[in-house]
């Protein structure tokens, strides 16, 4: 508890560690150890995302937040499973999530508005006929009006589609649900269940927890740049004088270095994201993290490189299985110089 108070006060600028009679490098090491310990402890209590997602960073959430620290304004332009936001030990004053795939924002909008209704459609047995029928309907012209409304109306959501989608993401094999290549794929059968399809899981209670946690999160549906402008980041009018901004960028990796058709909507924007990160990293309020494969972009040496390894679970589904296994060893997150550990 004392260590936690020391860390919180240091982040707040009170600097109790700095006032002790320790050499500068030992003070920094102490702060790093405290931060890693606190965030690792809090990771055990983090809220889990209700669906799997390719490239999820859930396993290393404590490492990410140990570097981003206590930010007042947090932005996740590529939400995916939203695992990083859900794993935040200190809820930010301002939180914004975004994803171009309309099914993802729709799920979070719907859970915020009516968790009971979403749970009604999500808490469902794994039936292969239903999996194929719902898959076909969701990617057919019949769902065009839904997709149109998601892009036009910021308050629109469809709880039934949200429930079907999150159920399908768990019921399908290799997160192929709502992708063209996933048509006719068999259900996920290699374990007793996955996520909300696991027997005994209280789906409604899970969604109620998600509803409470995300009730103040702004959920956008569109291109990533829209939530990364100065008014959304360091010029946000609700940001205090000393408030920090954390931007976690987990875009689709370079297409030439990974399996294609991993995402329902494929884009090749990795370099654009890296350029934006480089251009904004020098601002004193900005702490930026960029995910990719080692060697994908030449970040300068003052950016910390955090290497980690995935379990490789989805690499077995890749057309090029060897490349998939190799890529699982190349996962990297680059942290800008203003990030906490990267400053040491």
Range with the poorest average pLDDT among 49-58, 105-114, 333-342 = 49-58
Q: Which pair of tokens denotes residue 68?
A: 């981003």
User: What would the DSSP string read from start to end of 26-51?
Assistant: HHHHHHHHHHHHHHHHHHTTPPPPSS
Q: How far apart are CA 188 and CA 171, in angstroms?
A: 6
Q: Share the mean pLDDT of the chain.
A: 82
- What confidence category does residue 131 fall into, taking pLDDT thresholds of 50, 70 and 90? very high
Q: How confident is the model at residue 58 (pLDDT cuts 50, 70, 90)?
A: confident
Q: What is the pTM of this model?
A: 0.81
Edge-to-edge strands of the sheet including 73-76? 218-220, 94-98, 73-76, 245-249, 286-293, 331-335, 304-307
Q: List the single range of 107-116, 120-129, 223-232, 253-262 with lowest mean pLDDT.
A: 253-262
Domain boundaries, the chain: 1-45, 50-100+222-344, 102-203
Angle at 151 between CA 148 and CA 155, to 5 degrees: 105
Instruction: Measure the CA–CA gap between 220 and 108, rounded to whole angstroms.
Output: 10
Q: Quick one: pLDDT at residue 212?
A: 95
Q: Is residue 165 pLDDT above 60, yes or no? A: yes
Angle at the Cα of 67 from the Cα atoms of 73 and 240, rounded to 5 degrees: 25
pLDDT at 3: 33
Q: Rounded distance, CA 179 to CA 166, Å?
A: 14
Residue 35: pLDDT band (50, 70, 90) is: very low
CATH class of residue range 50-100+222-344: alpha beta
Both tokens assigned to 172: 């399908």
Inter-CA distances, 159 with 111, 121, 147, 201, 339, Å: 8, 8, 14, 20, 38
User: Which tens digit of pLDDT belongs to each residue from 261-304?
Assistant: 554 455 679 999 999 999 999 999 999 999 999 989 999 999 99
Please give the torsion angle defined by the CA atoms of residues 267, 307, 279 and 87, in that order, rounded to the nearest 10 degrees: 80
Residue with tokens 């590529």: 78
CA 100 to each of CA 82, 84, 106, 267, 343: distance values in angstroms, whole numbers, following the listed order: 13, 17, 11, 10, 32
């Amino acid at each position: 508890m004392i260590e936690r108070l020391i860390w919180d006060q240091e982040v707040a600028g009170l600097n109790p560690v700095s006032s002790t009679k320790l050499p500068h490098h030992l003070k920094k090491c102490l702060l790093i150890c405290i931060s890693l310990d606190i965030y690792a402890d809090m990771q055990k209590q983090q809220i889990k995302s209700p669906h799997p997602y390719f490239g999820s960073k859930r396993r290393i959430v404590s490492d990410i937040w140990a570097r981003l620290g206590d930010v007042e304004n947090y932005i996740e332009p590529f939400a995916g499973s939203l695992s990083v936001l859900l794993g935040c030990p200190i809820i930010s004053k301002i939180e914004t999530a975004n994803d171009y795939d309309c099914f993802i924002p729709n799920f979070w909008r719907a859970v915020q508005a009516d968790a009971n209704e979403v749970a009604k459609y999500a808490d469902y047995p794994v039936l292969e006929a239903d999996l194929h029928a719902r898959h076909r309907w969701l990617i057919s012209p019949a769902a065009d009006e839904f997709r149109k409304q998601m892009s036009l109306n910021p308050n629109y959501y469809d709880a039934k589609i949200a429930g079907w989608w999150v159920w399908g993401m768990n019921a399908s094999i290799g997160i192929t649900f709502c992708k063209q290549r996933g048509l006719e794929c068999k259900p996920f059968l290699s374990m007793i269940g996955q996520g909300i399809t696991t027997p005994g899981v209280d789906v409604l209670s899970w969604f109620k927890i998600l509803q409470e946690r995300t009730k103040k999160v702004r959920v956008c549906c569109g291109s990533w740049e829209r939530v990364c402008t100065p008014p959304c980041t360091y010029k946000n009018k609700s940001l205090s004088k000393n408030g920090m901004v954390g931007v976690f960028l987990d875009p689709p990796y370079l297409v030439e270095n990974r399996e294609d058709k991993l995402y329902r909507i494929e884009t090749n924007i990795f370099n654009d994201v890296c350029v934006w990160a480089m251009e904004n990293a020098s601002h004193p309020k900005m702490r930026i993290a960029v995910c990719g494969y080692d060697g994908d972009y030449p970040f300068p040496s003052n950016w910390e490189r955090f290497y980690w390894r995935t379990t490789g679970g989805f690499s077995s589904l890749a057309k090029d299985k060897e490349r998939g296994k190799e890529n699982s060893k190349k996962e990297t997150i680059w942290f800008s110089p203003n990030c906490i550990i990267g400053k040491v």
